[in-house]
Amino acid sequence: MINNWTWEKARHLLFRAGFGGKREEIETALRKGLPGAIDELLSGPTRARPEPQWLEEDKKIDPREIRRMGEEERKLLQKRNNQHTRELQGGWLQFMIAAPTPADMLHEKMVFFWHSHFATSAQKVKATPFLYNQLKLFHQHALGNFGDLLRAIIRDPAMLRYLDNDQNRKGQPNENLARELMELFSLGPGNYTEQDIREGARALTGYSLESYQFRYRPFQHDAGSKTILGRTGNFSGDDFVEIILEQPACAEFMARKLWVYFAGADSPSTVLSNKLGASENPQEEVIKTLAGKFREAKYDVKKLLCEIFSHPEFYSVEVMGTQIKSPIQLVAGTARTLELAVSNAEFYSRMLFTMGQVPYLPPNVKGWPGGSAWIDTSRLVTRYTFGEIIAEGKIPEEMDPRSQGDVDLRDPNTTAEERRLKLQQRRMMPPRNLRVDFDAEKFVGSASSPAEIIEAITRVLLAVIPSADERKVLIANLEKALAQKSREEALQRAVGDVMLLPAYQLC
């Protein structure tokens, strides 16, 4: 049981379960109490995922015909695919930011969890229908049954292509999907053998593609007897998944990963010294308890999340305010909490690219590492620059989405000459006044004096109470700004100043 349900705990729940919490949402969660707040979070999304306008057009392209295209035709197709991928990435980020309710917010955070868990890269898949359909799959199963999702992922065209299972056939097994299915997706290292991988790969033979759809090819499937994790039989891919789900290690692996995702605390840092000190390793007793309940619930993800959000350790001092925000958490959470309006939405993608977390561009099949990896020297500078941009209300020239380093310039199919010409064209464009604005008066509410305004801002934005010295500086800066700027500009500057505190990097 959670005693003494407070504003701080209600805020913690919304910021960890989603991408932030507006003042009125925190007040509602506080008023409803923990059970009511959790019920609302788990009530399911209120909106459908929009379908891109270009999807049906892209589906008309037969992947088998690409090999027969000329070089110029392939380049044009790749250019269009890159553009549609960027639109998919940016649209997903906008969808996160626009989450109308805490339930929608949690749902999108789980969609992104599954994307990182079942990491897939656009650079290898190279087909937007694959990526969008996988996104729909994660949307459908976000808070559903993990077993159902695992059965679906071995049929997911994006995953089959990314891990080369479309080349997995009888007599020539490809082990990539079988290996990652156990190591990264369900069991973790040490809970299977190399022989299990080889036999599992045989079970997945014939799981292939036709156009943009899954196709089972029985003549390519190895119908012989296989021994996987101690079980012997003529196993299919579905049998392989069922054997995995029978392993106690599966529930423990997933309970641990979801606990770390929502309740994890990051290690001490010389950069962030306010309140770091908890271990990255969750308490084993908590994990084992959660794993047992997850198995009892037959891998119902929603029930596991309910257990996590209602667990006393989730609200302990070792957890609250000790997790370093991922770039997605930082950018989407800031934009949603402040209800930002930007003159160029590509700015958000630019920020994520510089911070190192662009959807569908994970560093490898393991997804993003998280934790202290987010605050190396270059990335930390960008994170503080983000706060300064909010404070000033405008995007500086070097962070213009059109400038060097934008996502499309990473395309390995772009030649050096094409890249040079593209940059030259961008630099010749006339400067634009790129704005970042929000309703600062609405954000601070009824607060009037500088001290009250700073209190109102920090109560929403910070998981860690600022020190007396930090508070003194914030108030003095606001008083100075109010004397020199319009009230709206001064309030926006005050919000930016709070974002420049080390504590803003934590949730």
| pLDDT value of position 403 | 52
**Residue at which a domain ends, from 421, 436, 451:** 436
Do both 407 and 462 map to the same domain?
A: no
Within 8 A by CB and 6+ apart from 141, the residues are: 114, 148, 149, 152
Q: How many residues does the chain have?
A: 507
- Per-residue CA distances from 346 to 110, 116, 165, 380, 400 (Å): 23, 22, 34, 20, 9
**Residue at which a domain ends, from 436, 464, 485:** 436
Residue 237 lies in a domain: no
Dihedral angle of Cα 346, 347, 353, 359, to the nearest 10 degrees? -50
Residue 182 lies in a domain: no
Residue type present at position 459: R
Contact 135, 49 (CB under 8 A): yes
Contact 321, 507 (CB under 8 A): yes
Residue 125 lies in a domain: no
Contact 457, 495 (CB under 8 A): yes
Do both 420 and 482 map to the same domain?
A: no
What distance in Å separates the CA atoms of residue 502 and residue 466, rounded to the nearest whole number?
10
Owner of token pair 């300064």 = 388
Contact 120, 162 (CB under 8 A): yes
Sign of CA dihedral 305, 309, 311, 316: positive
Do both 453 and 409 map to the same domain?
A: no
| pLDDT value of position 121 | 96
What distance in Å separates the CA atoms of residue 385 and residue 378, rounded to the nearest whole number?
11
Residue 263 lies in a domain: no
283-306 tens-digit pLDDT: 889 999 999 999 999 999 999 999
Radius of gyration of the chain (CA): 24
Residue 397 lies in a domain: yes
Do both 372 and 397 map to the same domain?
A: yes
**Is the model's pTM score more than 0.85?**
yes
Buried b (16+ CB within 10 A) or exposed e, 259-284: bbbbbbbbeebeebebbbebeeebee
Do both 477 and 424 map to the same domain?
A: no
Tell me which residue range forms the domain holding 373: 327-436
Do both 431 and 473 map to the same domain?
A: no
Do both 451 and 429 map to the same domain?
A: no
**Residue at which a domain ends, from 436, 460, 479:** 436
Q: Domain count for the chain, please give it.
A: 2
User: In DSSP terms, which residues pair with 172 in a beta bridge?
Assistant: 169
310-362 tens-digit pLDDT: 999 999 999 999 999 999 999 999 999 999 998 777 889 989 999 999 999 99
- Hey, is 462 helix, strand or coil? coil
User: In DSSP terms, which residues pair with 207 in a beta bridge?
Assistant: 216
Do both 466 and 492 map to the same domain?
A: yes
Look at residues 249, 251, 248, 231 and name the one whose alpha carbon lies nearest to residue 240. Answer: 231
Do both 383 and 360 map to the same domain?
A: yes
Do both 465 and 392 map to the same domain?
A: no
Residue 311 lies in a domain: no
- Determine the angle formed by the axes of helices 346-355 and 377-392, rounding to 10 degrees: 150
Residues of the chain where predicted confidence (pLDDT) is lower than 70: 1, 267-282, 397-433
What distance in Å separates the CA atoms of residue 134 and residue 156, rounded to the nearest whole number?
7
Residue 379 lies in a domain: yes
What distance in Å separates the CA atoms of residue 268 and residue 100, rounded to the nearest whole number?
35
Do both 431 and 499 map to the same domain?
A: no
Do both 354 and 414 map to the same domain?
A: yes
- Hey, is 145 helix, strand or coil? strand
Residue 470 lies in a domain: yes
